[in-house]
Every structure is written in structure tokens, then in C-alpha cells.
Amino acid sequence: MTALVFRAGPLLCALRLDEVLETMRPMPTLPLAGTPAFVLGISVLRGVPAPVLDVCRLLGGGPGELRRYITVGTERGAVAMASGEVIGIRPVHPEPAGGHPALLGGASSRLVAGVDTVGAEPLLLLQSMRAVPDEVWEAAAAAGVP
């Protein structure tokens, strides 16, 4: 499969290319009250307000260096995934994450679809980012996002 490879803090991650709408520089982002720590807030992307999620925090780390937004389409609209450096587009051949005991529990089992390597570095293929928690959409709606 072909994927967009990027950094999320110290982690090397990938999203299936068919899920990615575009990458862009970070845009001004306003905080949203009542959302999880991985939600940076809301930003206007191409004239439309969208939630912004910090991929590093989403995966259980601290705040990562935010260098790019990777936008992903969802049923309710675009979502920006705040990431570090975008490495590029490359083929990935992940093994299912469920085969490794360390990736069986907690958020990882819901977020990591598979594991591959790039050289000697592990690469996490993320599950579809199209599923944004309802609480994020509810907070966005309270902030006036359609």
C-alpha cells in the first residue's frame, strides 16, 4: 500500500494515501473547551472550520513539534492532523499491530493498524483517522462550527 510518512514527536507514522486530502503549513488554531488533550482546537482550512488533532498526543506522547497539518476527510468534514516533518510518500508493508503484545492494549489497539520498518526505525501505520470522537464534534458545534 502507498502511505504518507511523517513524524509525530519521536515516532515515525504513516497514513494511507487514499485517506489524505492534503498537507499544509500549520494555520492559526483556537482552543476548544471541553475536548481531550490531543485536540489542539479549531482552525479554518480552505474557508471551513475544522478540528485540529495533535498526532503525538493522540498516540500517548507529549506535545510534538508541529510543522505540518495533514488533512483527512471524514463523514462530518475535514480534520487536520498536526504532525512534525512530512517525510514523503512511500510504499509500506505493515504487519498487523495485533500480533505484538505491546500494541494490544489501550489507545494503541484503536490507533495503530500495523507496524513496518524504515531502515532500523519502526513505522506505525495509523488506523483510519476518519473516526473523530463525538466529544470533539460536540465541542466544535458549541463553538459554532457547522
Say what the alpha-carbon torsion angle 40, 43, 49, 52 is, to the nearest 10 degrees. Answer: -30
Q: Under CATH, what is the fold of the domain 2-142?
A: OB fold (Dihydrolipoamide Acetyltransferase, E2P) (2.40.50)
Predicted confidence (pLDDT) per residue in 27-36, tens digit: 999 998 888 8
Q: Which residues lie closer than 8 Å to 86 by C-beta, 6 or more apart?
A: 4, 5, 6, 23, 67, 68, 70
Residue 50 has pLDDT above 80, yes or no: yes
Categorize the per-residue pLDDT at 143 as very low, low, confident or very high, splitting at 50, 70 and 90: low
Categorize the per-residue pLDDT at 23 as very low, low, confident or very high, splitting at 50, 70 and 90: very high
pLDDT, residue 109, reads: 56
How much is the mean pLDDT over the chain?
83
**From CA 20, how far away is CA 130, in angstroms rounded?**
10
Q: Does residue 26 sit in helix, strand or coil?
A: coil
Q: Which residue has the higher pLDDT, 105 or 9?
A: 9
**From CA 19, how far away is CA 105, in angstroms rounded?**
25
pLDDT, residue 104, reads: 40
Q: Give mean pLDDT, residues 128-140.
A: 68
